[in-house]
Structure 1
Amino acid sequence: MAHSVPGWRNAAAVVATTSLLAAGVGIPGASAATAPRVDLRVLVVDNGDSPVQAITAELKSTGIPYTRVNLDDANRPTIDAAFLSDTVGGTPRARYQGVVLPNEAPFGPGSAEQSALETYERTYGIPQVDAYTWAHPGVGLDYTSEGGWAGSLDGRAATVTDAGRASRFGYLDGQFAFEDNSASTQESYGFVARPRAGYTSYVDLPVPGGSGRGSLVGEYAHEGRRELVVTFAYNQHQRQFRVLARGIVEWLTGGVHLGRSRNYFGVHIDDVFAPDSRWDTERDCTPGSFNCDGGDGARAEPIRMTAADAEYAEQWQRSSGLTLDMVYNGGSGEEWKEANGGTDALTDRLVADRNAFRWINHTYTHQYLGCLQDTSTVPWSCAKNADGTTRYLSRADIAAQIRDNHAWAVARGLPVQRDELVTGEHSGLRTLPQQPDDNPNLAGALADNGVKWIASDNSREPAQRPVGAALTVPRHPMNVYYNVGTAAEMVDEYNWVYTSAADGGSGVCENHATSTCLAAPLDPATGYASHIVPQEVRTALLHAVGNDPRSHYAHQSNLAEERLLYPVLDQVLADYRALFASDTPLENPRHSAVGTELKRRAAWQTAVANGTVTAYRIGTTVTVKAPRGTAVPVTAPAGTQKKLALGTAAFGTPYAGARSAWDTPEAPQSALTLKLPS
């Protein structure tokens, strides 16, 4: 059984107790008519273990203010009544709406700090998350020796119970599997145990080698307190945590909190209309590149989509429900057309289907927009002026690349936005080690063309930053190479990068601390499907379910020939839809919307860090004050109303069973005020 009848009764009793506490019953100095003020902030008690750090990362990503107490810090504050609560304007105040602990009693059972914390939770109805603990009666579970089990959870399928879906995990579709990425490494350890009275299981699985089901996540209601008990170890990068993270945070905050979280997946297709060079499997390099001897491109046909590939892309979009962003080089297409008899069926097809896709300016001919490259050495270096200063492409030349490509698109009716730009190879921006600074002519050229959002490579620069008046928008590179059209070519290059020199590879993986060599080269016939696709799917899906709006990028070559990108995209979408309910769809924002989201998050984090945000709940009223002009992220239950200057309006937009938005007060209001449903 996922729960017992006494457990449901106990949980109902706690809900009733919480309602009484909200009315002021049992709170020192409060009357029955005075509800306490509960600040929208979380207390995190951190012992350095990965489960606490994972939840902390989720709080930060969502935008929820939190106070961290480091148990390893000899100068940390003492957890006592004065630290946890006080009175503001005669109203009792709970400083924290929820508490995250490494386990059920990190200060020691019966200790002064543990007792102060438990009294605080009991008095104000504050929930507690036990980030990771073992199964025992102190957390409402039988010992694993009593019909339970403890061991590796790798590859095992867990289920969200009916009670879990009715609580805060209803955004999940039912089942999810624990990751099992390596047969030689234990990735997840857990305790699977039977609930006792007062415990309601939210996530369980069949007891391995036994009978019945045992809990992994559940709520333990006892002595006027509520704990969310997690009995498996995890870190923030594991899929099992990522899919449960939203529910943990919503349970912790009662579904009312600052911050906003969505799941995102966008894919940019670079170099559209341009050909891409092909990997040479004999010389293990790309003809035409600076480090490929004799690389004039003559030995390998370039890779370019055909009209049939374009038609397939449009059909795939309709069947998959995901819109691709076509990052185009109009001038490169014109050059191809001129060199191939004056006709180009690919361009004709894509222009005919122009409204099916989104379009982003990628410069007219993909020219390198940074320093002038001296290719007489490998790797290349920046050319120098006579006085030793770096020679850069001029502002006029950069502006022309942007302007001419935009004009080309407008002339053909492509729905392109002037303020969005992706430069070829993210050039113009600093490129280490050769060009440590942006091209000083770049910012002016962006301003000349009204560009507000310029793409950057997230693997190099994950943080958004200004380039003059514009802002960068980091993108995730996909590990499906730009210079391959077939699976065999992809595997050949992958083997060159990721196998040791002894196995015929480049040995690069042996010389970089962040790389890992393959145990053996992949089979050219099967390696792409069996190894590379699952690896790339896992990475992309972790981004998608991590509240990360950054788009991924691949290249037009990956939609050509064997169309290598589609197996990755299909599996990401299939895995996602198997995990999440229909009210939690993948959002697919365009380039400028991603930039706006990142800009808002940065401003919000700054306001929170500077202590200029005040947010609290009194009864069913939520009040948030922030610096004027700062958009405020808030999540609240369905039915929440926003107070207007005159009257009210429904708050937010629906997602994952709740409503959320970036919002601001209406003039002349100084605070954002929400009325929660009764």
Structure 2
Amino acid sequence: MTRTLRTTMLTVGALIAALGLPTGAAHADGTTPRIDLRVLIVSDGGPSTDAIAAELTAAGTPYTEIDLNDSGRTVIDAGFLADTVDGRPRARFQAVVLPNDNPFPAGSAEMAALAAYEQTYAIPQVDAYTYARPEAGLQYPVHGGYSGSLDGAEAEVTAAGKSGPFGYLDGAVPFEDNDPAIGESYAYLSTPVAGADFTPYVEATVPGQSTKGTLVGEYKHDGRRELVVTFVYNRYQQQFRLLARGIVEWMTGGVHLGASRNYFAVHVDDVFAADDRWNTELNCTPGDVDCTDPNAEPDPIRMTTADVDHATAWQTENDFTLDLAYNGAGSVGHRGDNNGDDALADKLIADRAEFRWINHTYTHAFLGCVQDTSVVPWRCATNADGSTQWVGRSDIADEIATNRVWGASAGLPLENGELVTGEHSGMKVLPQQTEDNPNLALALDDNDIDWLGSDNSREPDQRQVGPATTVPRYPMNVFYNAGRAAEQVDEYNWIYTSRAQGGSGICEDNPATATCLSAPLDTATGYAEVIVPLEKRIALGHVLANDPKPHFIHQSNLAEDRIAYPVLDGVLDGYTALFATNTPVVNLRMKDIGAELRRRAAWKTAVQAGDVTAYRIGDTVTVEAPDELAVTATLPTGTTSAGAAFGEAYAGAVSGWTPSAGAPLDFTLPASAALPADESAETAPATKPAPDTKVPDGVSEPVPYTAES
């Protein structure tokens, strides 16, 4: 073993000499190196490196990925990792992510090249998922540690983690257990090797013991720094989503392109109108075209003044604002049926400043093709020549304009450029309507609409519809036709049970998109025990994924049993229990969400095209980007640009967007962001490849969000 270590050290020394630089970030000739703001990900095709790549993609942080399974891949050597630009030494990557602490064969020249590179430029390395072993600064788990599942366990951030890269967390890091029949986690819990310079950041109690073992920690050795992660994860799991920000901040030193925040917005559709109720006997909704019983009468659900009071009190308690998408004809019709009285509208208008408001069209009319409801399901009516009959331009424009005028006369604080059409109609609806109503774009232009709500389950990508840019919205599985929990569960059972169980069988016909319940839910308990936890988990997953898209429910869900609130409370209370006060939920209105999505899309295109260059020299970060492209970055608190403070505070850093004028943008970092000092090499880098680690089914094939889980 001694002979092998000596040989490796000589190899590393030769590589450093080949680079022409001494070890450490400070160089003998006084030249400060240039560090490009790009991450190198070396992947073995596993879920952990994939998860980190997904985090960087979502944030807009540039990276280069090398697939170890690709026989034609780039070889990692000194020339690939570093070179010289304008006479200045350049490190081409600010951080290195490996699938484990050493994914290469014993004596690998590539591992030696990486070790030399990390020593020379003080580049940190993330071991995405590795076995606890001395080469990673930890005892083998057999020495009082643990190897196995952590499903349902609760890890916690240490004091060092809170004062370091995970300071945005409140402490708890719960591990998911969505399906007891499927393993969803695997971890190696251990303690540092005696004498190792190892700082635990996240720990969990060893099962059956009172001692704690490390799950995430920093290991300093031979002039290098590694973030050692000893549990496996995929990009969707809550435990990773909670720690992802800290992993990125650690490996970049809090200096990187891209930004990540936790967003949550809720749109409430059909305000002032009423939503028809699900009929538990007929298993359909009277008033809908597919409820064909001639004796079925619609049974409307509509908010009351008490529901408005509850909504405003809930907003105050949660420091959160709901977006109300309104239909003015709902109030006009109610007044016509009640001698001019509409206590709900009077109350909402009196309290209008408590909410944000969105034009949802005047009557909630269907604005796509003319619907032929003589058949079930409906189809698009056609002209004599077989062409589609479309709702006309003036009809669409009137729906938009009349509702806007009604809202303005009521004093609603509107953003006139925002619109959500009834049922997202006008845009294509498969299978009946395979294209947008061609009159929709013209009517949007007539009314100066900039932002158009769309259904994320149909169209997850933002696109243009005439002058308007879509804002995809997540539909919550809290049904529009349910005001009571028992109704919600009854309809849920109808949709998600087999025909043999008395259900619709939709889940049998569409196994790729729906999973049948093993048995119908109890209508008395199923909502609280199954549906609420599931919907909370799905929505919170979006919040933790740096996803600004809004969710939408309906006014019926704020009425009667007020079934939306347990889900919304679950999301916000769950979030508060996990995050520090420096990392609040970001609650944007529709136009700001649209702008964020559009900026991200432009940024992603420019980064992938290689049109953005960014690097750090000492305390200065320089970004070169195309003219008019908004540049996004996350930098330490106290960073300035052109003498002014940069960004907005979030999660212990500052981040934001800065417009580019085509000339280089310079950011001056505070003294606290100094690069690590040179560390002497005390031990040799690892030469033994990391052993194989276990990946359970729930990680390699993520446990789906189903009604059963």
2:653 is matched with 658
Counterpart among 389, 392, 410 of residue 390 in structure 2: 392
1:314 is matched with 312
Counterpart among 313, 334, 337 of residue 335 in structure 2: 337
Partners of 2:265 and 2:550 within 8 A in 1: yes
Please give the alpha-carbon distance, in whole angstroms, between the structure 2 residues aligned to 1:422 and 1:574: 29
Please give the alpha-carbon distance, in whole angstroms, between the structure 2 residues aligned to 1:332 and 1:25: 75
Secondary structure of 1:245's aligned partner:
helix
The Cα shift of 1:436 comes to 1.2
Partners of 1:121 and 1:127 within 8 A in 2: yes
Aligned partner letter, 1:154: D
The Cα shift of 1:32 comes to 3.9
Matched, 1:112 2:109: yes
The Cα shift of 1:30 comes to 5.3
The Cα shift of 1:151 comes to 1.1
Secondary structure of 1:215's aligned partner:
strand
The Cα shift of 1:295 comes to 5.9
Please give the alpha-carbon distance, in whole angstroms, between the structure 1 residues aligned to 2:201 and 2:184: 22
1:3 is matched with none
1:585 is matched with 584
Q: Which moved more, 1:57-66 or 1:308-317?
A: 308-317
The Cα shift of 1:341 comes to 2.7
Aligned partner letter, 1:611: G
Please give the alpha-carbon distance, in whole angstroms, between the structure 2 residues aligned to 1:353 and 1:223: 64
Partners of 2:25 and 2:33 within 8 A in 1: no
The Cα shift of 1:26 comes to 3.2
1:499 is matched with 497
Q: Describe the superposition over 1:291-325 as per-residue Cα deviations: whole angstroms up to 9, x where unpaired.
A: 11226751x42101011111211111111111000
The Cα shift of 1:252 comes to 1.2
Partners of 1:171 and 1:580 within 8 A in 2: yes
Matched, 1:189 2:186: yes
Describe the shift of the 1:295–1:304 C-alpha distance in structure 2 as closer, same or farther (beyond 3 A): farther
Secondary structure of 2:429's aligned partner:
coil
Gaps of 5+ in 1: 1-23
Partners of 1:44 and 1:56 within 8 A in 2: yes
Please give the alpha-carbon distance, in whole angstroms, between the structure 2 residues aligned to 1:109 and 1:376: 73
Question: How do 1:11-160 residues align onto structure 2 when only pairs under 5 Å count?
Answer: 25-26=22-23, 31-160=28-157
The Cα shift of 1:671 comes to 1.5
2:449 is matched with 451
The Cα shift of 1:90 comes to 0.3
Please give the alpha-carbon distance, in whole angstroms, between the structure 1 residues aligned to 2:498 and 2:619: 62
Describe the shift of the 1:377–1:127 C-alpha distance in structure 2 as closer, same or farther (beyond 3 A): same
Secondary structure of 1:217's aligned partner:
strand
2:545 is matched with 546
Please give the alpha-carbon distance, in whole angstroms, between the structure 2 residues aligned to 1:154 and 1:316: 33
Normalised by the length of structure 1, the TM-score is 0.94
Aligned partner letter, 1:672: L
Secondary structure of 1:54's aligned partner:
helix
Partners of 2:26 and 2:32 within 8 A in 1: no
Describe the shift of the 1:124–1:677 C-alpha distance in structure 2 as closer, same or farther (beyond 3 A): same
Aligned partner letter, 1:541: L
Secondary structure of 2:275's aligned partner:
coil
Question: How do 1:658-677 residues align onto structure 2 when only pairs under 5 Å count?
Answer: 658-665=653-660, 670-677=663-670
Partners of 2:507 and 2:515 within 8 A in 1: yes
Partners of 1:144 and 1:192 within 8 A in 2: yes
State the number of aligned residues. 648
Matched, 1:472 2:470: yes
Question: How do 1:496-535 residues align onto structure 2 when only pairs under 5 Å count?
Answer: 496-512=494-510, 513-535=512-534
The Cα shift of 1:327 comes to 0.4
Describe the shift of the 1:413–1:465 C-alpha distance in structure 2 as closer, same or farther (beyond 3 A): same
The Cα shift of 1:514 comes to 2.2
Q: Percent identity between the aligned chains?
A: 59
2:355 is matched with 357
1:415 is matched with 413
Please give the alpha-carbon distance, in whole angstroms, between the structure 1 residues aligned to 2:463 and 2:248: 29
1:559 is matched with 558
2:220 is matched with 221
2:231 is matched with 232
Q: Describe the superposition over 1:75-116 as per-residue Cα deviations: whole angstroms up to 9, x where unpaired.
A: 111111111111000001111111111111112242011111
2:705 is matched with none
The Cα shift of 1:261 comes to 0.7
Q: Which moved more, 1:586-595 or 1:198-207?
A: 198-207
Q: Describe the superposition over 1:460-510 as per-residue Cα deviations: whole angstroms up to 9, x where unpaired.
A: 111100111210000010010000111100100001111122211111112
Partners of 1:288 and 1:295 within 8 A in 2: no
The Cα shift of 1:524 comes to 0.6
Secondary structure of 1:205's aligned partner:
strand
Secondary structure of 1:33's aligned partner:
coil
Partners of 2:42 and 2:98 within 8 A in 1: yes
Please give the alpha-carbon distance, in whole angstroms, between the structure 1 residues aligned to 2:332 and 2:371: 25
Matched, 1:328 2:323: no
Q: Which moved more, 1:493-502 or 1:548-557?
A: 493-502
Partners of 1:485 and 1:557 within 8 A in 2: yes
Please give the alpha-carbon distance, in whole angstroms, between the structure 2 residues aligned to 1:346 and 1:112: 74
Secondary structure of 1:252's aligned partner:
helix
Please give the alpha-carbon distance, in whole angstroms, between the structure 2 residues aligned to 1:137 and 1:109: 16
Secondary structure of 2:634's aligned partner:
strand
Q: Which moved more, 1:328-337 or 1:360-369?
A: 328-337
Partners of 1:268 and 1:327 within 8 A in 2: yes
Aligned partner letter, 1:550: K
The Cα shift of 1:664 comes to 2.2
Question: How do 1:585-664 residues align onto structure 2 when only pairs under 5 Å count?
Answer: 585-643=584-642, 648-664=643-659
Q: Which moved more, 1:576-585 or 1:370-379?
A: 370-379
Partners of 1:309 and 1:560 within 8 A in 2: yes
1:537 is matched with 536
1:15 is matched with none
Partners of 1:47 and 1:102 within 8 A in 2: yes
The Cα shift of 1:375 comes to 1.3
Q: Which moved more, 1:86-95 or 1:102-111?
A: 102-111
Partners of 1:332 and 1:366 within 8 A in 2: no
Please give the alpha-carbon distance, in whole angstroms, between the structure 2 residues aligned to 1:587 and 1:28: 37
Secondary structure of 1:326's aligned partner:
strand
Aligned partner letter, 1:670: A
The Cα shift of 1:177 comes to 1.1
Partners of 1:639 and 1:650 within 8 A in 2: yes
2:375 is matched with 377
Normalised by the length of structure 2, the TM-score is 0.90
2:685 is matched with none
Secondary structure of 1:378's aligned partner:
coil
2:267 is matched with 268
Secondary structure of 1:441's aligned partner:
helix
2:691 is matched with none
Describe the shift of the 1:589–1:297 C-alpha distance in structure 2 as closer, same or farther (beyond 3 A): farther
Partners of 1:147 and 1:211 within 8 A in 2: no
Describe the shift of the 1:573–1:27 C-alpha distance in structure 2 as closer, same or farther (beyond 3 A): closer
Please give the alpha-carbon distance, in whole angstroms, between the structure 2 residues aligned to 1:318 and 1:509: 40
1:180 is matched with 177
Aligned partner letter, 1:674: F
Describe the shift of the 1:484–1:167 C-alpha distance in structure 2 as closer, same or farther (beyond 3 A): same
Please give the alpha-carbon distance, in whole angstroms, between the structure 2 residues aligned to 1:108 and 1:384: 67
Please give the alpha-carbon distance, in whole angstroms, between the structure 2 residues aligned to 1:527 and 1:28: 59
Please give the alpha-carbon distance, in whole angstroms, between the structure 1 residues aligned to 2:457 and 2:251: 33
